[in-house]
Each structure stands twice: as C-alpha cells, then as structure tokens.
Amino acid sequence: MKRALVFTSCFSIIFIAGMLHAGMKYKGEIQPGSWLRGLEIEYEHDGRKAVGKLQIYFPAGYKRGESVRTLIALHGYNGGMRDWEKNTGIEKYANQYGFAVVCPDMGKTLYESRYYPETTVKWGPMPGGEYVTDVLVKYVRKHFNLADGGGRTGIFGLSTGGRGAILITALNTGMFGACAGLSGDYDPLSMTKDKLLASVYGDYSNFQDRWKSDDNCMKLADKLSDTPVFLSHGDQDGVVPKEQTLVLAVRLMQIKKKDATRDIIYKPKKYNSHDWRYWGRMLPDIMEFFDKRLSK
C-alpha cells in the first residue's frame, strides 16, 4: 500500500547532523564501488525537528564531486534503507551503468503528499512523499552533486515504494526523467476497505472526494505523459492485486498513444508473488530501462 501530492507547507532547513552546515559539501571519505553509510539529514517542518537517515552507493570509477546519474530506490511499507542492498545485487548494475543509488530509510509511510486531521500513521512531521522531494533530493544535490537534473535522475520502488515512485514523479513534473514501480497499488477507489490507505486518508465512507482526487495515480496519469514508465507485477501476488498495475499500464498507454511502445514498459510476470525473489529478478530489466532513458 502506498501514496503522495506535493503541498509545500512550511520552510525546511536541511543540513547534515554533526558534520555539515547549510551550503557545505560532504567532507568525509567516499569510496567508489561501495556504500556510504551513517548519513543523517536534520530538517525542520512546521516547527518540529526531525532526522532522516539514508545510504548512498557510489559506482566503481566514481570521482569525487562529479555529477553522475542518480537513482532514488524506495522500499516498501515498514522497510528500511538496506532492503535493496541486502536482497538484490543492485551494486553490480550500478557499476555496470554508472548509477549512484540513494536509499532513504522511510519506515512506515505510504509516500503520501500530505496529512489530514484523520491521519493516524505519520512517518514524521513531514509527509513521506514531500520528504523525498523537498528534503532528500535537495540534500543529495547540494552535498554530493547527485540528482542534479531530471534528465539524469530516476526513481523506483516496490510495493508501497512502487506506488510512491509513480506518484512522486506525477506530482513533481521535471524532477525525474523516468520512473519504475514493482507490485504497486495505484487505484485507491478499487481498494476502499484498505486499512493502510484509511490510516492516512481517513475512512472512504467519510472522505470519498479525498480518495478520488488526492494521491490517486489513475487520476494523475496524464502528468506522466512525457515521462518513461516501467511497470511490473507478479501474477500470483497475494498482497496487492495484479490488476492494480494492469489498469495503470493501460491508462498510460492510452495517454501516450504513439510513444507507448517506447515510453511505457509493462512486464507482468507469471508464477511470481509479492517477494524479493521476484523483485530481484526484475532489477536487471529496471536498470537497463533507466540506462536507456536517462541522459548520460
């Protein structure tokens, strides 16, 4: 389950905990071909202070300060920043294609764009989707020269993170040059009994307009008309119905028309379910997709 719309509320101050002040570049050691861990972002939102954590993989051959193509990798609900590292061979493909990979630690979030009085589960003082765009991306751009332009920046995720990747891209035109979602849910109106959705948006019976308009990927699909999108879903998924990805793929193909065969990649997979075995198998296709569609 998953979400995000970007209402930039209060002013956010971003700097590295204990190491950096606003405007300063990262001064610690960066080892090409390895993960940089222990990174923290202190930020303030609506008068509340918080700390976000992340790790970054720098590809082999990386030279300090250079601009390299960047991928934001989102985990699923209640996951962590090491999920992609522990469960896939993502480093191999990052090295092969020259990608830096940014993995934020998001915990319990639907990558929502805003909170409501009825929201009972809050990732932090700032909604998860807004944090990705207004804190995380700005931080890696300022301190590491990563994600320095939409044409060289992609975003992808699985399950909740899959929906988050598609939604965040739709709500932030030009920030990402391509996006990919695995096993995501995109049509909240077909999941009106879902408890995770209700934990952010309130019960559907009381807030139908909110469910129809806010953070609804089907409604926002036209915002992706100029963005390449990769979608996949296992046909034996017992957590998120495979039809969630199918209906979004069909909608995007209708919108794109002539460019659909290039810009919409839809790969349903037989005999696969909602697990890392499947997601790991899809990683080579995703990385090749980004390599072909992000500027070098």
Whole-angstrom distance, CA of residue 256 vs CA of residue 53: 37
Listed in order, strand segments (DSSP E) in 128-263 are 153-158, 178-182, 229-234
Class of domain 15-293: alpha beta
Whole-angstrom distance, CA of residue 238 vs CA of residue 153: 32
| Full pLDDT tens readout for the chain, 296 residues | 434 333 333 333 333 333 344 456 898 999 999 999 999 999 999 999 999 999 999 999 999 988 999 999 999 999 999 999 999 999 999 999 999 999 999 999 999 999 999 999 998 999 999 999 999 999 999 999 999 988 999 999 999 999 999 999 999 999 999 999 999 999 999 999 999 999 999 999 999 999 999 999 999 999 999 999 999 999 999 999 999 999 999 999 998 876 666 689 999 999 899 999 999 999 999 999 999 999 98
Whole-angstrom distance, CA of residue 58 vs CA of residue 100: 5
Query: How big is the chain, counted in residues?
Result: 296
pLDDT, residue 261, reads 63
pLDDT, residue 260, reads 66
Q: Please, are residues 51 and 41 in contact by the beta-carbon 8 Å criterion?
A: yes
pLDDT, residue 6, reads 35
Query: How far is C-alpha 137 from the chain's CA centre?
Result: 11
Q: Please, are residues 33 and 39 in contact by the beta-carbon 8 Å criterion?
A: no
pLDDT, residue 1, reads 46
User: Where along the chain do its domains lie?
Assistant: 15-293
Does an H or E element contain 166, and which? helix 160-171
pLDDT, residue 25, reads 85
